[in-house]
Amino acid sequence: MAELPVVLLPVGHDDDALDACLAALEAGTPAGTRVWLADDARIGPRGAQIVQRWLARTALQADYTCRQRSIGEVAHLDDVLRACGDADVIVLAPDAIPTPGWANALAACFARDASIATATPWCNAGEAAAWPRIGEVNAVPDDSVRLAHACRALPPLYPELPAAIGHAVLLRGNARRKAGGLDVSSYRTWYAALIDLSLRMAGLGWRNALCETAFVARGGEGGPADGDMDALAVRWPAWHSRLATFLMRDPLYATRVALQRGFDALEDAPAQWPLFEEAAASEMQSPGSSPSSGNSD
């Protein structure tokens, strides 16, 4: 069985969100999956304790690196992504809450369609990928296992998104390299730099797809820093209107309705859950590259 991609988690300064993210990552990700906790000198003493306690007991193959000085969100992410070479990497927001089977479903998306450069799962606060209502910050789902089952029951069609979204995204390594990586000089946030990267990959003929068989929740919505949207508008003048058209036309409406119906139908069917776990364990997975450990400047 091939290995899953590396999960890259840029550590944030919200200790409670980090604790919840690590707990969900542990519960919903197969043992032995490689995880890189990358800290741009942002973590505090309590956060450091949370990370060290988690590292000591996790069943995942995890490494933690911490810079002595911050170089900024985009430059830091570009640096660690480049360290992964041509490997496919899942970048997970530090306040994300993955549901069971999420990483397997993303890896299967890449395995089934080689034209996909970015695979973004559903999210309660995922803009174009938001569920149950598009373009809204919905409440964090209170039954992640049931929701994961409902997602997995959807046919894997992988429809087009306007761009990748930052709550969780699987990046195809060779597409990322051919597009030149992140633009560290034009953007201050991952939110904007990811949009730019995914649009450049689309310009090279790749696709930015929704992985409708996976769900990653989030407490809030990511956003740009001052100047980021202006920079996007200059480089991609049609971007804002394209996103607005997508949100108004809502081409994912039928899929979101199907997910809601599947979620509702599973309310009284917990006996099916072990079957889901067995199927998730046998799902096709994608190869990656192991992150390095230790500190970097």
What pLDDT does residue 269 have? 62
What pLDDT does residue 88 have? 98
What pLDDT does residue 296 have? 44
Does the structure show a pLDDT above 90 at 138? yes
29-45 average pLDDT score: 96
Residue 121's nearest CA partner among 59, 175, 154, 165 is 165
Does the structure show a pLDDT above 80 at 58? yes
Do residues 84 and 192 make contact, with C-beta atoms less than 8 angstroms apart?
A: no
Q: Which domains does the chain have, with CATH numbers?
A: 6-281 (3.90.550.10)
Burial class (CB in 10 A: 0-12, 13-18, 19+), 226: exposed
Does the structure show a pLDDT above 60 at 182? yes
Helix axes 144-152, 15-28, angle to 10 degrees: 50
- Apex 122 CA angle, 121 and 125, nearest 5: 120
Please name the helix (run of DSSP H) or strand (run of DSSP E) that holds residue 39, with its range, or none.
strand 34-39
Sign of torsion over alpha carbons 128, 132, 135, 136: negative
The residue with tokens 């409902």 is: 150
What pLDDT does residue 22 have? 98
Q: How far is CA 270 from CA 97, 100, 147, 149, 257, in A?
A: 21, 15, 12, 10, 21
Residue 210's nearest CA partner among 244, 259, 267 is 259
134-162 average pLDDT score: 96
Task: Tell me the average pLDDT of the chain.
Answer: 91
Q: pLDDT for 67-124, tens place per residue?
A: 999 999 999 999 999 999 999 999 999 999 999 999 999 999 999 999 999 999 999 9
What pLDDT does residue 47 have? 96
Do residues 196 and 236 make contact, with C-beta atoms less than 8 angstroms apart?
A: yes
Burial class (CB in 10 A: 0-12, 13-18, 19+), 33: buried
192-197 average pLDDT score: 98
Tell me the C-alpha distance between 192 and 165, whole Å: 9
Does the structure show a pLDDT above 90 at 204? yes
- Number of residues that this document lists for the chain: 297
Q: How far is CA 151 from CA 163, 216, 253, 259, in A?
A: 21, 11, 15, 6
167-191 average pLDDT score: 97
Model confidence at 195, pLDDT cuts 50, 70, 90, reads very high
Do residues 214 and 165 make contact, with C-beta atoms less than 8 angstroms apart?
A: no
DSSP state of 137: -
Does the structure show a pLDDT above 80 at 170? yes
The more confidently predicted of residues 201 and 222 is 201
Model confidence at 282, pLDDT cuts 50, 70, 90, reads very low
Does the structure show a pLDDT above 90 at 274? no
Q: pLDDT for 248-261, tens place per residue?
A: 999 999 999 999 99
Tell me the C-alpha distance between 70 and 288, whole Å: 27
Count how many Cα atoms sit within 13 Å of the Cα of residue 127 in the half-sphere of its side chain. 19
The β-bridge partners of 111 are none
